[in-house]
Amino acid sequence: MNKEHIINTHSHINMLKERTIEEALQNCIDENITIIVPSYDDKSIFEVDELTKKYDQVFGYVGVFPEEVKCFNDKTLTDMENIIKNNNKIISFYKTNRFCESNESAN
Amino acid sequence: MNLPINVHCREAYFDTLNILKEHNKNSQVIMHCFSGSLEFAKECIKQGIYIAIGGVVTFKNAVKVKEVAQNIPLESLLLETDDPYLTPVPFRGKENQPSYVKYVAQEIANLRGISFEEVARTTTQNAKRIFPQIN
Protein backbone atom coordinates (compact mmCIF):
# COMPACT_ATOMS: atom_id res chain seq x y z
CA MET A 1 0.00 0.00 0.00
CA ASN A 2 1.64 3.26 -1.13
CA LYS A 3 -0.85 5.78 0.15
CA GLU A 4 0.26 7.93 3.06
CA HIS A 5 -1.27 6.74 6.31
CA ILE A 6 -3.93 9.11 7.70
CA ILE A 7 -5.42 9.00 11.19
CA ASN A 8 -8.97 10.33 11.31
CA THR A 9 -9.25 11.36 14.95
CA HIS A 10 -13.05 11.61 15.12
CA SER A 11 -15.53 9.47 13.18
CA HIS A 12 -19.01 8.36 14.27
CA ILE A 13 -18.90 5.47 11.83
CA ASN A 14 -21.53 3.65 13.90
CA MET A 15 -24.02 6.45 13.11
CA LEU A 16 -23.88 6.20 9.31
CA LYS A 17 -27.21 5.64 7.60
CA GLU A 18 -26.43 5.55 3.88
CA ARG A 19 -23.74 2.88 3.98
CA THR A 20 -22.77 0.01 6.22
CA ILE A 21 -19.86 0.12 8.63
CA GLU A 22 -18.15 -2.50 6.48
CA GLU A 23 -18.52 -0.40 3.34
CA ALA A 24 -17.20 2.71 5.05
CA LEU A 25 -14.30 0.79 6.59
CA GLN A 26 -13.37 -0.78 3.26
CA ASN A 27 -13.11 2.75 1.85
CA CYS A 28 -10.78 3.56 4.76
CA ILE A 29 -8.66 0.47 4.11
CA ASP A 30 -8.41 1.43 0.43
CA GLU A 31 -7.17 4.88 1.46
CA ASN A 32 -4.89 3.66 4.32
CA ILE A 33 -6.95 5.44 6.95
CA THR A 34 -7.18 4.54 10.65
CA ILE A 35 -10.16 5.95 12.56
CA ILE A 36 -10.98 6.79 16.15
CA VAL A 37 -14.64 6.43 17.12
CA PRO A 38 -16.15 8.25 20.11
CA SER A 39 -19.12 6.99 22.08
CA TYR A 40 -21.98 9.39 22.79
CA ASP A 41 -24.13 7.82 25.55
CA ASP A 42 -24.18 5.08 28.18
CA LYS A 43 -25.00 2.39 25.59
CA SER A 44 -22.70 3.38 22.75
CA ILE A 45 -19.65 2.95 24.99
CA PHE A 46 -20.22 -0.79 24.57
CA GLU A 47 -20.75 -0.38 20.85
CA VAL A 48 -17.43 1.42 20.52
CA ASP A 49 -15.74 -1.24 22.65
CA GLU A 50 -17.02 -3.93 20.28
CA LEU A 51 -16.08 -2.01 17.14
CA THR A 52 -12.48 -1.66 18.30
CA LYS A 53 -12.28 -5.39 18.99
CA LYS A 54 -13.84 -6.34 15.66
CA TYR A 55 -11.88 -4.10 13.30
CA ASP A 56 -8.11 -3.59 13.28
CA GLN A 57 -8.20 -0.01 12.00
CA VAL A 58 -10.71 1.21 14.60
CA PHE A 59 -9.74 2.76 17.94
CA GLY A 60 -12.12 4.37 20.42
CA TYR A 61 -12.88 7.14 22.90
CA VAL A 62 -15.39 6.75 25.72
CA GLY A 63 -17.62 9.57 26.88
CA VAL A 64 -21.08 11.07 26.45
CA PHE A 65 -22.62 14.03 24.65
CA PRO A 66 -23.86 16.82 26.95
CA GLU A 67 -27.46 16.16 25.93
CA GLU A 68 -26.95 12.59 27.19
CA VAL A 69 -25.59 13.46 30.62
CA LYS A 70 -29.00 12.61 32.11
CA CYS A 71 -28.10 8.95 31.47
CA PHE A 72 -24.68 9.35 33.07
CA ASN A 73 -24.46 7.78 36.53
CA ASP A 74 -22.08 5.78 38.69
CA LYS A 75 -22.70 2.66 36.61
CA THR A 76 -21.74 4.53 33.42
CA LEU A 77 -18.50 5.61 35.03
CA THR A 78 -17.77 2.07 36.23
CA ASP A 79 -18.58 0.69 32.78
CA MET A 80 -16.22 3.20 31.18
CA GLU A 81 -13.43 2.38 33.63
CA ASN A 82 -13.84 -1.35 33.03
CA ILE A 83 -13.77 -0.89 29.27
CA ILE A 84 -10.63 1.24 29.47
CA LYS A 85 -8.90 -1.27 31.75
CA ASN A 86 -9.71 -4.22 29.51
CA ASN A 87 -9.30 -2.75 26.06
CA ASN A 88 -6.05 -1.00 25.08
CA LYS A 89 -7.71 0.28 21.88
CA ILE A 90 -9.82 2.65 23.96
CA ILE A 91 -7.35 5.50 23.90
CA SER A 92 -9.03 8.66 25.21
CA PHE A 93 -11.90 10.29 27.05
CA TYR A 94 -14.37 12.23 24.97
CA LYS A 95 -16.06 15.15 26.62
CA THR A 96 -18.24 17.91 25.32
CA ASN A 97 -18.46 21.04 27.39
CA ARG A 98 -21.16 23.38 26.23
CA PHE A 99 -21.69 26.43 28.33
CA CYS A 100 -24.95 28.29 28.55
CA GLU A 101 -24.97 32.04 28.04
CA SER A 102 -24.92 32.38 31.79
CA ASN A 103 -21.58 30.53 31.73
CA GLU A 104 -23.14 27.61 33.56
CA SER A 105 -21.64 24.28 32.64
CA ALA A 106 -23.90 21.84 30.78
CA ASN A 107 -22.72 19.06 33.02
CA MET B 1 -5.61 6.85 34.00
CA ASN B 2 -3.78 9.73 32.36
CA LEU B 3 -5.50 9.20 29.01
CA PRO B 4 -5.73 12.00 26.47
CA ILE B 5 -8.83 14.18 26.67
CA ASN B 6 -10.90 15.02 23.62
CA VAL B 7 -12.84 18.25 24.14
CA HIS B 8 -15.62 19.67 22.03
CA CYS B 9 -15.83 23.34 22.92
CA ARG B 10 -18.75 25.33 21.57
CA GLU B 11 -18.79 29.06 22.13
CA ALA B 12 -17.03 28.80 25.48
CA TYR B 13 -13.50 29.11 24.29
CA PHE B 14 -11.54 30.82 27.02
CA ASP B 15 -13.76 29.37 29.77
CA THR B 16 -12.83 25.91 28.52
CA LEU B 17 -9.18 26.80 28.29
CA ASN B 18 -9.19 28.16 31.83
CA ILE B 19 -10.82 24.98 33.14
CA LEU B 20 -8.18 22.90 31.38
CA LYS B 21 -5.39 25.07 32.77
CA GLU B 22 -6.80 24.68 36.27
CA HIS B 23 -7.80 21.03 36.32
CA ASN B 24 -5.85 19.09 33.70
CA LYS B 25 -2.95 17.28 35.27
CA ASN B 26 -0.78 15.77 32.56
CA SER B 27 -3.22 14.57 29.91
CA GLN B 28 -2.77 15.52 26.29
CA VAL B 29 -5.72 17.54 25.05
CA ILE B 30 -7.39 17.66 21.65
CA MET B 31 -9.80 20.43 20.68
CA HIS B 32 -12.16 18.46 18.48
CA CYS B 33 -14.13 20.17 15.69
CA PHE B 34 -12.21 23.37 16.26
CA SER B 35 -14.31 26.45 15.53
CA GLY B 36 -12.43 29.16 17.39
CA SER B 37 -10.30 32.04 16.17
CA LEU B 38 -6.62 31.96 15.27
CA GLU B 39 -5.96 33.88 18.47
CA PHE B 40 -7.67 31.17 20.52
CA ALA B 41 -5.88 28.42 18.59
CA LYS B 42 -2.54 30.03 19.44
CA GLU B 43 -3.48 30.20 23.12
CA CYS B 44 -4.37 26.50 23.03
CA ILE B 45 -1.11 25.63 21.33
CA LYS B 46 0.83 27.50 24.03
CA GLN B 47 -0.71 24.99 26.44
CA GLY B 48 0.33 22.06 24.25
CA ILE B 49 -3.22 21.46 23.03
CA TYR B 50 -3.76 19.92 19.60
CA ILE B 51 -6.23 21.44 17.13
CA ALA B 52 -8.45 18.98 15.20
CA ILE B 53 -9.96 20.25 11.98
CA GLY B 54 -12.64 18.60 9.87
CA GLY B 55 -14.76 19.13 6.81
CA VAL B 56 -15.75 22.69 7.72
CA VAL B 57 -12.36 23.81 6.43
CA THR B 58 -13.52 23.00 2.90
CA PHE B 59 -16.56 25.28 3.15
CA LYS B 60 -16.23 28.46 1.11
CA ASN B 61 -17.35 30.75 3.92
CA ALA B 62 -15.38 29.10 6.75
CA VAL B 63 -12.96 31.99 6.97
CA LYS B 64 -11.92 31.48 10.60
CA VAL B 65 -11.21 27.77 10.28
CA LYS B 66 -9.30 28.28 7.05
CA GLU B 67 -7.19 30.93 8.76
CA VAL B 68 -6.43 28.54 11.62
CA ALA B 69 -5.61 25.66 9.27
CA GLN B 70 -3.29 27.88 7.27
CA ASN B 71 -1.38 29.48 10.12
CA ILE B 72 -0.94 27.18 13.09
CA PRO B 73 2.12 24.91 13.24
CA LEU B 74 1.48 21.70 11.34
CA GLU B 75 2.84 19.87 14.39
CA SER B 76 -0.25 20.97 16.36
CA LEU B 77 -2.80 19.86 13.80
CA LEU B 78 -4.98 16.74 13.64
CA LEU B 79 -7.45 15.59 10.98
CA GLU B 80 -11.00 14.36 11.47
CA THR B 81 -14.37 14.08 9.73
CA ASP B 82 -16.94 13.97 12.57
CA ASP B 83 -19.01 11.89 10.13
CA PRO B 84 -21.86 11.51 9.48
CA TYR B 85 -21.94 15.28 10.05
CA LEU B 86 -20.07 18.17 8.42
CA THR B 87 -19.49 16.56 5.04
CA PRO B 88 -16.61 18.21 3.18
CA VAL B 89 -16.77 19.69 -0.28
CA PRO B 90 -17.21 18.13 -2.89
CA PHE B 91 -19.81 15.95 -1.13
CA ARG B 92 -21.39 18.64 1.03
CA GLY B 93 -25.13 17.93 1.42
CA LYS B 94 -24.62 14.17 1.33
CA GLU B 95 -23.76 11.87 4.23
CA ASN B 96 -20.19 12.16 5.42
CA GLN B 97 -17.97 9.09 5.87
CA PRO B 98 -14.54 8.60 7.48
CA SER B 99 -12.57 8.19 4.24
CA TYR B 100 -13.54 11.75 3.27
CA VAL B 101 -10.81 12.87 5.67
CA LYS B 102 -8.62 12.93 2.55
CA TYR B 103 -10.57 16.00 1.35
CA VAL B 104 -9.83 17.71 4.65
CA ALA B 105 -6.13 16.93 4.23
CA GLN B 106 -6.15 18.16 0.63
CA GLU B 107 -7.81 21.45 1.54
CA ILE B 108 -5.29 22.09 4.31
CA ALA B 109 -2.47 21.26 1.89
CA ASN B 110 -3.91 23.74 -0.63
CA LEU B 111 -4.27 26.46 2.01
CA ARG B 112 -0.70 26.01 3.19
CA GLY B 113 0.84 25.48 -0.25
CA ILE B 114 2.31 22.12 0.69
CA SER B 115 1.68 18.57 -0.48
CA PHE B 116 -1.16 16.30 0.58
CA GLU B 117 1.49 13.78 1.65
CA GLU B 118 3.13 16.26 4.00
CA VAL B 119 -0.17 17.05 5.69
CA ALA B 120 -1.02 13.36 5.98
CA ARG B 121 2.43 12.37 7.25
CA THR B 122 2.76 15.13 9.85
CA THR B 123 -0.79 14.90 11.22
CA THR B 124 -0.41 11.13 11.50
CA GLN B 125 2.86 11.58 13.41
CA ASN B 126 1.05 14.05 15.67
CA ALA B 127 -1.76 11.57 16.34
CA LYS B 128 0.73 8.81 17.09
CA ARG B 129 2.47 11.05 19.63
CA ILE B 130 -0.84 11.40 21.45
CA PHE B 131 -1.95 7.83 20.85
CA PRO B 132 1.12 5.57 20.78
CA GLN B 133 -1.22 2.57 20.67
CA ILE B 134 -1.81 3.31 16.98
CA ASN B 135 0.93 1.83 14.81
pLDDT of chain B, 135 residues: tens digit per residue = 778 999 988 888 999 999 999 999 899 999 999 999 999 999 999 999 999 999 999 999 999 999 999 999 999 999 999 999 999 999 999 999 999 999 999 999 999 999 999 999 999 999 999 999 997
pTM here is: 0.92
Number of domains into which chain B is organized: 1
Domain that holds residue B110: 5-130
B133 neighbourhood in chain A, CB within 8 Å = 59, 88-89, 91
Q: What is the pLDDT of residues A54-84, one digit of tens each?
A: 999 999 999 887 777 778 888 998 999 999 9
Q: What is the pLDDT of residues A20-56, one digit of tens each?
A: 999 999 999 999 999 999 998 889 999 999 999 999 9
Q: What is the CATH number of the domain that holds B66?
A: 3.20.20.140
Q: Which helix (H) or strand (E) holds B38?
A: helix B38-46
Q: Are A11 and B82 inside 8 Å of each other by CB?
A: yes
Q: Are A10 and B82 inside 8 Å of each other by CB?
A: yes
Instruction: For Cα atoms B119, A34, B87, give the angle at the middle one, nearest 5 degrees.
Output: 70
A 21-50 residues inside an 8 A Cβ radius of B: 24-25, 27-28, 30-31, 33-36, 38
Per domain, the residue ranges of chain A are 6-95
CATH for the stretch A6-95:
3.20.20.140
CA distance A72 to chain B (A): 17
DSSP symbols for B83-123: TTSSPPTTSBTB---GGGHHHHHHHHHHHHTS-HHHHHHHH
- Choose among B70, B4, B79: nearest CA to B38: B70
* Residue of A7, A91, A98 lying closest to B4 (CB–CB): A91
Structure ipTM: 0.97
Confirm whether B135 is domain-assigned: no
Mutate to test the interface with A, among B34, B96, B102, B103 (most CBs of A within 10 A): B102
